[in-house]
Structures are given as C-alpha cells and as structure tokens.
Amino acid sequence: MQLDFAIQSKRLQSLGVVLSPEEMTVINAAIPAVRVEFDLIEATYFARIQTLKRPYHILLGKNERGDELFYCSADMTAWSLLPALDQEEIQELQRLGFGIASRVPLFGKLDKLLPKEDAAEEEEEKPDEEEEPKEEDGEEPKEKVAKVIKEKPRKFKLLESHRLSQIIQNVHKQMQIVLLDAFCKQSGKQVLNTQFRGLQRPNLSNLALLKDYEKYLNGTIQQNEIKTLQDEPNSNYYTGQFDVLNGCLVVMNFYYKGLIYYIYANALVWGSFYDGDGIAW
C-alpha cells in the first residue's frame, strides 16, 4: 500500500534505513514535482543506490496506462527517466562485463559511457572496394561483379544509466510480492480486498511472488495451489523475520543485501525498499 513519504521515511528509519535530513526534505519535495513533470498518477521512493560518488535516488512512478517507470537523480535536483532496454542491449551489457552478475561498482554519473573491451571496435570498417574483373587478350570486357554487402553489426552506445536501469528492473522483479489476504480475484484480475484489515502476525505463508499469483489469476492453478514464500523453491531465496519491537515482518532477498519487503501487523501498511550498491551476491 502506497504511503505518504513522511510516513514512509519514518517507517524506513525504524527498519534501519537512515535518511539524512537533506534527503528527506528534497525527496519529499521531489515526489509531487516528478508526478507533475512526467504526468504520473503516483510516485514512491523506491531505492537508494550507493556509488563511488553520491548515491542515486530512485522513484517508482506509474502512469495512467499502468506502466511502471523508474526515475533517477544523482544530485537530488534533476530527475530523469531510466531507459528501457531491449534484449540486444542486455546481451551487450553482459558481453562487456556489466551484466547482472557484474562486481564493478557504479561510478555515480548517469551519462558516463561504459568502457568497451576492444578499442578497435570504435574504428569504422572500410568498405570493400569493388573488384575489376580481369580481361584476357581477345575477350570482350566482362561486367563488374557486384559484391554481396553484409549487414553491419549494430553499434551500441551504452551509458551507466543503461546499466542502472537493468539493475533496478532486476531488483524490482525480486520483490514483486503479493500479500495474499489483501487481494482477491475478480474477472481474472487482481483487486484490493476491501474487507482486509491487516494481519495480527504476518509470516511468509501470507506472501507469494507475483509470477506465481498470476497463475491463479489466469486459471492455471487453484487458489490453494499458489506457492508462498514459505514453499520451495521460494524458501531458498527469501527469509523472513518478525520484528516484535516494530510489529513488522521484514522479508529479505538472497541476491541483494539491503533489499527488504515489509508488512506491519494490524495495519494496511506494506511495501518494499532497496538500500544497497546494486551488486548481486
């Protein structure tokens, strides 16, 4: 459930995510400004990514079509939409050593050009010259033989913003979690359960990955067949701990240190946040 940032920041601080007074002030002002600038129906603070310089701050926005988009700022002043990647760009990032498993820290400059493996790739290939056919004595001149022109490989100009986009998309995918009691199925769609008033003590059996829940929505499985985070194989990648002091279940992900999903007991408050360096374990 979406929270006002003032409430969200207090919740995050109680869970160990400490924001400076400057960060809280600027982000609180940025959220409504980004909504207006990019014509969004909602925007939430989603992540703080540590770099070699200042951290990147990420907002998750949603437009009227329901598209989820990510906006980033390195200086907490200017915000820009992270680029969408196609499959070829993802493969090229992997080839250059900047895939999901890369251990290289983020530099901290969105428009920084990612280094290539071979400087020779920058050089333009010279076009093949057309060969003149040789003529034998007494023979009529032969027509020039047209060469088959090979399609040139695509040239990429990948920036740190492309790599950051890939990281954020993967982080978001890891925490696409559904609080089962809070939603119900209506005409094959996921809708809020208006009768839900919170859980007394939430646990992993109350949660499922969106990809598993969608199998129920499209009729592939029955409701009692939905795999929860307590079931294998999900239990190998997610752990949960109930914080008695804050009355909150905190779910952690195996791949990203600092990525959490939280649900408060007896309240309509849940969400996710990532505070890390973007490097998967």
Q: Which residues of 223-245 are buried (b: 16+ CB within 10 A; e: fewer)?
A: eeebbbbeeeebeeebebeeeee
Q: Which parts of the chain sit beneath pLDDT 50?
A: 119-125
Q: What is the pTM of this model?
A: 0.83
Q: What is the pLDDT of residue 11?
A: 87
pLDDT of residue 224: 94
CB 148 within 8 A of CB 130: no
42-81 in b/e form (b: 16+ CB < 10 A) is ebbbbbbbbbeeebbbbbbbbeeeeeeebbbbbebeebee
pLDDT value for 270: 92
**One-letter amino acid identity for 65?**
R
**113 in Cβ contact with 159 (< 8 Å):** yes
**In Å, what is the CA distance from 104 to each residue of 55, 73, 194?**
15, 20, 46
Distance CA 169, CA 171 (A): 6
DSSP string covering 80-107:
EEPPP--HHHHHHHHHTT-STT--PPP-
pLDDT score recorded for residue 48: 97
**What pLDDT was estimated at residue 123?**
47
Residue 150 pLDDT: 72
Return the CA Rg of the chain: 25
The pLDDT of residue 239 is 96
The neighbour count for residue 85, using CB atoms within 10 Å, is 17
Question: Are 77 and 25 contacting, i.e. CB atoms less than 8 angstroms apart?
Answer: no
Cβ atoms < 10 Å from Cβ of 108: 16
